[in-house]
Structure formats: C-alpha cells, structure tokens
Amino acid sequence: MVLDAKIPSGSIATVWDEHRFQMKLVNPANKRKFDIIIVGTGLAGASAAATMAELGYNVKAFCFQDSPRRAHSIAAQGGINAAKNYQNDGDSIYRLFYDTVKGGDYRSREANVYRLAEVSVNIIDQCAAQGVPFAREYGGLLDNRSFGGAQVSRTFYARGQTGQQLLLGAYQALARQIEAGKVTMYPRTEMLDVVNIDGHARGIVTRNLVDGKIETHAGDAVVLATGGYGNVFYLSTNAMGSNVTAAWRAYRRGAFFANPCYTQIHPTCIPVSGEYQSKLTLMSESLRNDGRIWVPEKAGDSRAPNQIPESERDYYLERKYPSFGNLVPRDVASRNAKEVCDQGRGVGPGGLGVYLDFADAIARLGKDTVSARYGNLFEMYEKITGEDPYEVPMRIYPAVHYTMGGLWVDYHLMTTVPGLYAIGEANFSDHGANRLGASALMQGLADGYFILPYTIGDYLAKRMGDKVTTEHPAFAKVQAEVEQRIASLLAINGNRTVDSFHRELGKIMWEHCGMARNKEGLEKAIQLIGDLRQQYWSDVRVLGQSGNVNQDLEKAGRVADFLELAELMCRDALHREESCGGHFRTEHQTPEGEAKRDDENFSYVGAWQHGDGKATLHKEDLDFEYVKLTQRSYK
Amino acid sequence: MDLKLHVWRQKDASDPGSMVEYQAKDVSPDMSFLEMLDVVNESLVQKGEEPIAFDHDCREGICGACGMMINGVAHGPQRGTTTCQLHMRHFNDGDVVYIEPWRSGAFPVLKDLMVDRGAFDRIIQAGGYISVNTGSAPDANEIPVPKQAADTAFEAAACIGCGACVAQCPNGAAQLFTSAKVSHLGLMPQGQPERWRRVRGMVAQMEEEAFGSCSNHLECEAVCPKEISVDFIARMNRDYIKATFKGDDS
C-alpha cells in the first residue's frame, strides 16, 4: 500500500496557510451536531477537547486518571520551545524548523515540522493569556533559556515545572468547557477498543475503573491523545499508568504503527538503586546548561568525587564535542554515558552512572543563582538519593523517556483509519528519530490547540447526516470481545504476578532494544518475547473481579499489549539497517562511533500494518527539499 | 529493615472497612514508600490475597495522584514531600506504621486507600480559569507581568491538587486548595477581568461540597507537599469580601 501523507503542494513557508483556506469548514450552526470522542487529556487531549468545545462541537473526553490534571505531561520540567526570537539572537521559524529536522536525524516530515515551528509562536501567546506563570524578566517580559541541542534561547519555562503549568492551563480551559456543558468528562475510564463501521472510526469501548462497567460510546470522530509507550521497558520516566493500550487496540483495528523502534533515552535521570525500583526519575536536561558531566579518567577509580583531582577527570562531552560540549542532543549524550560506563569508568552502585557537577557553576554564579535556576531539581534529587548536590556531584544515567514512534498520521493527523486521529506523543509525525528538548510540550499543544481543530473539520464537513448510535451491532460485537479478553485474564490464575512479567519484558527490551541494538540481539529478543508472551497467557495471576476497582486487572491488560508491541519494536529495529537518532545499530557506526545513517535505503517512515501472525511494512518516502541531509556533527 | 503495617482495607464505597496488619520485610532505605507497598502487594498476590489499592501515577511528586495518611500525617513525616517521594530511609527497623486513606467526608473512599477527589475538579470548573478561547490571545509580550507578581503567582500555581490540605485539616476545609488557584489567577494581569466573579464562584462551589470551614489551624500548610503558604487564604478572604461588596455584576 502506498502511504499518502497528503502533504499539500506549495512553498513550505505558506503551505499551511494556503491549506487552511482549501480545507472545508463546518458551518457554526452544524458543529453542535457532531460528537467528538477524545481519549487522553494530557496537553494534546485537553487542549484539543477545550478548543473543539469552544468551536461548538460536542466533546466526550476520557482519561484513566482520577482527574485530567494528572496526565503525565505534568512531569515535563524544562520548557517549551517557540520561535519568538524575543532574545534577538537570530532565531526564526525557519531556524526552529531546521533544528528540529536536523535534531530528528532527518527522519521526520518537513511539512509537519515547519507547521509545528510556525504555530509555536501562537502557543506561547495562548498560554500566557491563560495565565500560565512563565518566568519573567524584571521588565515584566518573558524570559527564555537555551535548551539541549539549541544555540539560541527559545525555550520558555516556569521554573522546573513548565509541563505542570501548561497542563494546568489546558486543564483549566477544559474545566471551563465542562462547566459550559460542551465537554462531558469521563475520569477513571480506560479505553479498551475502538469501533469501526464501514471503514470509519465511530466509537470506543471503555471500562469504568471504579465499578468495572464496560461501556460503549459513539461519535463522529475518535481522537487518540494517549501518550507514548516507554513503559514497555518497565523502567522509564513515564508515569506508572502510561500505556500503549489505546494505540495498540487502534493498530489491531487497522491503524498503522510507524517507526516503533524510535525511542528516546534521556541522559539526565537518577540511576537505578535496586531491584524493587518501580520507575526512573528524570531531571530536566536544563541542568546540562550549567552542570559539567565527567567520569574518572581511569577505570575502577573508586575515590569519592571530590578526592579526584581535576587532572584525573574526563569531561568527555566537552573533550569530544568542543562546540556543543555538555549540550549535545540527548541521543549523543546518552550513548556517550553508556560508552564510558561500558569502559568501567561509571560511578555509583553497579558502575551505572556519571557525574553531573555543579561545583564550577556555584563558584561562578553563586549558590543563590544556581538555586533559583535548579532549586526544585536539587531538592528532588536529594529526596530520592539522600545526597546533597550542592556538596557532591549528582549521579546521572540515561533512561527511557519518550517514544518518537507512534500511530502513523497524515498531514491532517488522521491515521490510516478514516475518522481516527492521533495527536501528541501518540502519533509519530514531528520528531523523526530523536526529539529535541522542550519540543514535546510544543508538539502536544500545537496538535491540540492549532492543528487538529482545523483539520478535523475538513473530514467532518463531508460526513454531515451520517449518524450512528451504540445500538449499531458493531458496538455489541466489540464489547463482547473486550469482555471476553478480561474474562480470559481473570481465568488464568497462574503463578506469577503481572509485575514480574513486566519487569522481565523490560529487561529484555533494555538489553536488546535499548541504547544500542544489533541483529543478533534483536533476533534473540523476538524469540524471548514470544516465549514470555506465551507464558503470560498461561501463568499470570490476576486476582479479584472485573466489577469493581481492580488495579491488577488494569495492569494485566496493559502488559498484555506491551508484550505484543515489544515484538513489533524489535522487528522494526531489526529491519532498519542503519543508525539514526535514538536508533543505534552497532553494525552501523562511523569510525568515531557516531550513528551512521543510510539515506539511500532508509530515508522513509516505516509503518506497520497489523495482520494475523505477521505485520506488514509499508513505506512513506521522506523528501527533503529544504533541509540538506548531512551527517549530524556536534563537534 | 522490617516494618509492621496497619493498613485500611475497604472493598468499595459501601463496605465499612477495617485496619489489617501486614509485615513488610527486608525494606531497603532507598525504596520509596510506594515501592515498599509494591513489594507488600506482590507478596499478597503470591499468597492469593488481593493487593492494597492506592492512587499513584508519576511517582515524581508532581501529578498529585498519590497520598495517604501515614501515622496520622498526610504524606508522612517529611515536610514538603508527597508520599511517592518519601523514602524509607526516614523509617527505622521495627517501626509500626499506620496507613489510612485521606480523612474527609468530601473525599469518599472508593477502595482501600483510594478516594474520590472530584470535588476539587468541580471547584476549578466553578471559575478557576481565565476565559480565553484558543486563537484570541494577543502577543505574549503585550501583557507585561511584574516579575514579583509572576513569581508569587507561580508559588500559588504550584498546587498539585493532591488533597493533603483537606485530609489534615481538623475541619476538612479546602481553603488552601481554593485560595491557591484564586491567588494564582488573581495575581496575574490576565486574571483581572474575572477576578471577583471567580472568587465568588469558586468559594460558593467549595461551600456546596462537603468541606468544612477554615478556623486557622494551619495544618494544611504544614503538610502541603508544595509548601503553599496560608497567606493565600488571607488573600482569598480579602478578595471574597471585596467581591461581595462589589456585587454580582462585578
């Protein structure tokens, strides 16, 4: 099948503007005749729900948390990019576009990325008007900082809690629409399947997480804003509840899954402390602006950090990448940390850590300035590790953080199933093989506030009068399948806990499909995952019933889907015989150990179609008209 | 270290519930409190007993999902810390720990340690926003915000909506939560047009829910994981009185 992204023709700088005029509009009086289902209420979902309700559509919004304010967007710390050029340092829409395509290692779609950079300026306006308490200069104007991989200061921030403040802005806009009766909110409700009728997405099946009721909801379009799938690794910086189930169920109903192997490993996380560890904590990479990363020069040096003289330290990022230094993109920083640890120069328990040292910054700026910039991060670090980063260097290690892959969408953010949309981290479209810092918040809000509300109208305008209700037999059929699946999980009553399977899956993925991958390891992983999945369905133990709160049952369904996704990730990683961004194949590297792309053969989006027994790969070729393909160099 | 736990178990909202004793064995000081409960839960499942239900999500202290009374204190003994960020190094071998759900009639128990905090969402819906439709915002730098106002607004906006303030208050009052949002928006120039209407709406909703009244015990500030100041309550009260004098059309 040829994948058509439906990118309109024209100059990249004007095409979105022109296209907005070309798209069909839904008459204001007709908007209230359409019901939109939005699953997930993080930045993308809440902003989309609020905006579409403001436009007049009827919105039903769903989240598994007890309130939309808890979505994991809230944990983003560092900031949000926008090409405002308030700092007069040479930034522009074109530069943000260029940086994002380059940072994504030339595996993203130019037209989408340009549009993202274009609307980034509107996002800041919108959020400031909502009362988001961004950092300010004394003159009352907005402050900016430079952030991982960028040479201009284009990142807007609210201390170390930008994601929280932006999410609360979107949540409040959503609350206003709930109050106005335009949004019906379903908290503690998990989507377990999508219902297609005549090839169009027409509704979803959900489970109420309080009373266990399986319910059906019909609509004119279904929007998935359900986040990423990093928890397939068990340990990640994602929230405990973050899962792939909604996206995976959509995949099984015909939506293609693109680039599943593109995962971002974030370089500045707190290292693992033991087997009981349930999640990893990220510390904003803004820390790299002032912190210096180093390890002892000699392997096996077990002296305390302040006992190691300057001359016996290796500031390896500054040494290898003199122009970017500690600010190289995330994938480069992560891989280098792994490399020095593999050489036996890692620090802390198990040797899986590197130092992030603020001694120089404190000497240069004073403790107060450092505290004003990073105080809350230092506190968080101290709470978790019991060490004071003002006195001893932090220890950091890379952890799974973000998944660039996701449901394939066209320029309108529609999946291969008409009427089914994917926005935010749940889609694949804007970050290529590696996401730049402070771009996830930007993309989530771009999709939700400024892109989907336009593009969805073009679809709906052609669907006037075509109503279905949950009385349609397709709903009963999917509902029965969902109920059957839950009953099967409860009936196994085996010997192992859900978590024990999840942990084992995570280890397989981290070992073989993590920071560095190769053919042999991936083939082995596929074998191991298949075996584990088989064992899961015969030996997992899920207690209790479906008719009330049952957190184990919730987890069991999610882990079952992770066990399927994991295999697809490995297959995707195996087929992509090149290294690019977060996907590093050890067979494909330059003599200096850098990722080596193969633009001749792999300059495409790999989108997988579900099939019984075997997934089929489809390709969307990526054309680079504006950004010249080069080997990334941060030296 | 080994601990003895007394945990509130309650099957659902209609079940009366009771304290049940468990042993937590080989607890590492580097574990978080919730990781300690994870380990207890795994052993319960192994024994064929249903695990203890509790809300949690980000485990980074920012989403506000987790929270329980630990030896009678919301979020436990460490100041300015959510339950997920409380680590076991603050406990000693042989300690006896009582774990209960949030104590408030406004937060009914759903199961075990899990409560319904929907009342907080309804308070926000009653005015905790600035009415600006997507697309109608002016350039972000057209509205300067004095740094001091932005910083103070941020301190109020840092509220994570966990509910500890209500749980710890002897009256079960929601003043700290409500005032944090009233103050955040009321301090920003963007929030001025709706300032009086907002405080009236949110306070009215707060009173409609099953919260008690504030009588200045200040327990809320003491347990707030984001250390939000009770000064915001005073600020809300001032705004509320002004709003009342200004009348309904302000």
Per-window interface: B 148-187 vs A, CB < 8 A: 150-151, 153-154, 157-158, 160-161, 184-185
pLDDT value at A159 more than 90: no
- Give dist(CA A162, CA A157) in Å, integer: 5
For residue A552, give the nearest of B45, B63, B89 by CB distance. B45
- ipTM exceeding 0.90, yes/no: yes
Mean pLDDT in residue range A372-390: 90
- The pLDDT of residue A149: 63
Residue of A130, A154, A156 best to disrupt the B interface, most CBs of B under 10 A:
A130
- Give dist(CA A323, CA A361) in Å, integer: 19
> From B58, which residue of chain A is nearest by alpha-carbon distance?
A239
Here the tokens at position A182 are 């335009």
Residue ranges matching CATH 1.20.58.100 in chain A: 474-596
Contact between residue A268 and residue A61 where contact means Cβ atoms under 8 Å apart: no
pLDDT per position as a tens digit, A473-525:
999 999 999 999 999 999 999 999 999 999 999 999 999 999 999 999 999 99
Q: What CATH number was assigned to the domain covering residues A474-596?
A: 1.20.58.100
pLDDT value at A573 more than 70: yes
Mean pLDDT in residue range A410-419: 98
Mean pLDDT in residue range A36-61: 98
Does domain A36-262+404-463 bear CATH number 3.50.50.60?
A: yes
Instruction: Residue B48: list chain A partners with CB under 8 A.
Output: 543
Q: Which residues of A are catalytic?
A: 330
Alpha-helical regions (H) of chain B: 33-46, 118-125, 147-157, 164-168, 175-187, 195-208, 219-223, 231-246
Do B35 and A543 lie within an 8 Å CB cutoff? no
**The domain at A265-400 falls in which architecture?**
Alpha-Beta Complex (3.90)
- The pLDDT of residue A631: 78
Mean pLDDT of chain A: 95
pLDDT per position as a tens digit, A96-119:
999 999 999 999 999 999 999 999
pLDDT value at B100 more than 70: yes
Do A273 and B30 lie within an 8 Å CB cutoff? yes
Do A165 and B64 lie within an 8 Å CB cutoff? no
**The domain at B3-111 falls in which architecture?**
Roll (3.10)
pLDDT per position as a tens digit, B124-144:
999 999 999 999 999 999 999
Q: Is B126 on the interface with A (CB under 8 A)?
A: yes
- Give dist(CA A147, CA A328) in Å, integer: 10
Q: How many CB pairs under 8 A join A and B?
A: 220
DSSP A425: G
For residue A131, give the nearest of B45, B130, B135 by CB distance. B130
- Give dist(CA A594, CA A516) in Å, integer: 12
- Give dist(CA A362, CA A246) in Å, integer: 46
The confidence band for A597, taking pLDDT boundaries of 50, 70 and 90, is: very high
> From A126, which residue of chain B is nearest by alpha-carbon distance?
B137
Run of H or E including A103:
helix A93-103
- Give dist(CA A32, CA A35) in Å, integer: 8
For residue A497, give the nearest of B31, B42, B140 by CB distance. B42
Full DSSP string of A463-528: GTT----TTSHHHHHHHHHHHHHHHHHHHH--SB-HHHHHHHHHHHHHHHHSSSB-HHHHHHHHHH
- Give dist(CA B126, CA B119) in Å, integer: 11
Residue ranges matching CATH 3.90.700.10 in chain A: 265-400
Do B138 and A130 lie within an 8 Å CB cutoff? no
Contact between residue A45 and residue A225 where contact means Cβ atoms under 8 Å apart: yes
The distance between the two most distant Cα atoms of chain A, rounded to a whole number of Å, is: 75
Contact between residue A456 and residue A221 where contact means Cβ atoms under 8 Å apart: yes
Helix (H, G, I), strand (E, B) or coil at A195: strand
pLDDT value at A613 more than 90: no
Q: Report the 3 state secondary structure along B106-125.
A: CCCEEECCEECCHHHHHHHH
- Compute φ and ψ for A245, nearest 5 degrees: -55, -50
- Give dist(CA B193, CA B143) in Å, integer: 14
- The pLDDT of residue A633: 73
Instruction: Residue A281: list chain B partners with CB under 8 A.
Output: 59-60
Q: Is B198 on the interface with A (CB under 8 A)?
A: no
**The domain at B118-246 falls in which architecture?**
Orthogonal Bundle (1.10)
pLDDT per position as a tens digit, B144-191:
999 999 999 999 999 999 999 999 999 999 999 999 999 999 999 999
Q: Which residues pair with A406 in a beta bridge?
A: A258
Q: Give the residue carrying structure tokens 């000693």.
A: B92
Q: Do domains B3-111 and B118-246 have the same CATH topology?
A: no
Angle between helices A43-55 and A162-179 (to 10 degrees): 30
Residue of A211, A379, A383 best to disrupt the B interface, most CBs of B under 10 A:
A383
Instruction: Residue A278: list chain B partners with CB under 8 A.
Output: 32, 34-35, 38, 59
pLDDT per position as a tens digit, A142-157:
999 888 668 899 999 9
Q: Which residues pair with B19 in a beta bridge?
A: B8
Q: How far is CA A531 from the centre of its chain?
A: 28
Closest-CA distance of chain B to residue A147, Å: 20
Closest-CA distance of chain A to residue B191, Å: 7
Going from N- to C-terminal start, the domains of chain B cover 3-111, 118-246
Mean pLDDT in residue range A436-454: 96
Instruction: Residue B51: list chain A partners with CB under 8 A.
Output: 543, 551-552
Instruction: Residue A66: list chain B partners with CB under 8 A.
Output: 55, 65, 116-118
Residues 6+ apart with CB under 8 A from A368: none
Residue of B60, B78, B83, B184 best to disrupt the A interface, most CBs of A under 10 A:
B60
Instruction: Residue B56: list chain A partners with CB under 8 A.
Output: 240
